[in-house]
Amino acid sequence: GEELVSQETVLEELFEKEFLQKKIHGVVDSYTEDLLTQNYPSLIEALPKNLQSTVQESISSLQDRIGSYVEKVIRSEETVESVTGFVERRVDEVLSQTVSEALTEETYQNILDFLETRVRSIVREPALEEKVREFIGARVDDLANTETPLEMMFTPDAIALLKEKATEQIEPIVHQLSELATEDRTKNQISSLIKKEVHTYYENLPFVKKIFVSRENLLKEVDDLVDESLPKRIEETLKGDFFAEEASNFVSNTIDTTLKRPLPDLIGTIAEDQLDNLKNQISKNILGVLQSDEMQNSISAYLTDSLEKVRPQRIGAILRSANPGAAKQIKETLSGGMIRILENEDTTKIIHSVLSNQIDSLINAPIGKLSNHISEEQVRNAGDSLTNTIVEAAKQKLPQAIKEFDIGGVVRDKVNNYPAEKLEELVMSVAKEHLRTIELFGALFGFFIGVGQAIQFYFFSK
């Protein structure tokens, strides 16, 4: 009995003869076959009916707890710091790139095409034409009715430039005047005027003086003066420094005097229809310039050159040149916007809704056969691993459990505490079976002995 219930006997039967491993392997294989062949419904339907409502309530409670936890995490200071740090890192990464690194060649070309197309469409939109006409009309009305001196409409540099350009035209004017003075037509007109004065002068002379003064000589001297002396004198006078200085002063004073007067004072009152025609003409000319192919090509070339100049520059440098605090403002704006979105009540509702929908979809989605999701070989390998793990765990834990359990002591206690009457009946029932066998063997053995003695007696008696 001690040997039968000893720890070594139990462990040998369980492990050395692989009894436990075979039993566990059989159970696992049976369960594996069920897993591979059974067509499972959804997770919630696979549960027993009496557990479905409890599990659903638990899942609903879990959803609420997860949603509350997520909401708490979103509103925490750690989340704010994480979002701010993430935005700052991403913005710094973007700002450290050049425009050519941030934009692909295709994106660059798309931007250029978009700008060109947009400009072409804008300059031909009726709304722009109407705005141009309104602007030109308003400006022309202001100029036609304003009492502001013209000099208030120009900067000092513009006025100085105007005077400079006007003064530069004096020399060409002098040259034109010199050529005009030497033309035959001019000389003939001057000669006619002088000769007319000479005739008048000669007719008014007393008779005595007429004797000493010859009209023909006077007219001849006039012709000589006009043909030879007058052009030279005019050219010398016009090309002299004195005339140039006087002409320059005259031009400057004329411009100053003109600019001190308002435009209506210079041009007078303009008829309404003439003013409208002027507005339409100016608007038409401006729109024609804007919509011309030359202007479109110029704008396209300008856009291309501008983008080409920008491409090798870093985005951060471009922002700093436009606004030194632009990068900081972008970071603060993006961080604040993301944090406001996360802390918004609608965001919390969306998170709760997404969690609920995803969990409901998970527990209500049909599972089908496990083999549709995991290969049979993987399932069987997992079963073998589970069997080996259980056996190894049993080898480590079961000896101590058997030692603590004391199977021999339990058997001894059962035997010692077994009722004597039942024990006697048990022994008698066992003995009765064995005694009957002994009696039969004794009778047979006695029969053979008696036969042997009879034979012996028979032979010895002779």
Nearest C-alpha neighbor of 315 from the set 103, 93, 97, 109? 97
**Cα 446 to the chain's mean position, in Å?**
112
Distance from C-alpha of 312 to C-alpha of 323, rounded to nearest angstrom: 19
Element at 145 (helix H, strand E): helix 126-145
Whether the CA torsion 170, 176, 180, 181 is positive or negative: it is positive
Distance from C-alpha of 105 to C-alpha of 115, rounded to nearest angstrom: 15
Amino acid in the structure at residue 362: L
Q: Are 37 and 369 in contact (CB under 8 A)?
A: yes
Q: What is the pLDDT of residue 274?
A: 78
Could you tell me the pTM of the whole model?
A: 0.41
Q: What is the pLDDT of residue 395?
A: 67
Distance from C-alpha of 348 to C-alpha of 350, rounded to nearest angstrom: 5
Query: For 420-435, b where at least 16 C-beta lie within 10 A, e where not — what string?
Result: eeeeeeeeeeeeeeee
Q: What is the pLDDT of residue 313?
A: 82
What pLDDT, in 10s, does the model give residues 4-41?
445 566 566 566 656 666 777 777 777 677 666 766 67
**DSSP class per residue in 247-269:** HHHHHHHHHHHHHTSBHHHHH--
CB-CB neighbours of 329 under 10 Å: 11
Q: Quick one: tokens of 267?
A: 């041009």
Give Cα separations from 448 to 333, 454, 461 (angstroms): 119, 10, 20
Question: Exposed/middle/buried for 343, CB within 10 Å: 0-12, 13-18, 19+?
Answer: middle
Nearest C-alpha neighbor of 177 from the set 228, 226, 237? 237
Q: Which residues of the chain have pLDDT under 50?
A: 1-5
Contacts of 119 (CB under 8 A, 6+ apart): 296, 299, 303
Q: What is the pLDDT of residue 112?
A: 85
Element at 369 (helix H, strand E): strand 366-369
* Length, in residues, of the chain: 462
Q: Are 222 and 111 in contact (CB under 8 A)?
A: no
Question: Exposed/middle/buried for 367, CB within 10 Å: 0-12, 13-18, 19+?
Answer: middle
Which 3 state secondary structure label does DSSP give 38? coil
Amino acid in the structure at residue 446: G
Q: What is the pLDDT of residue 414?
A: 63
Q: Are 327 and 116 in contact (CB under 8 A)?
A: no
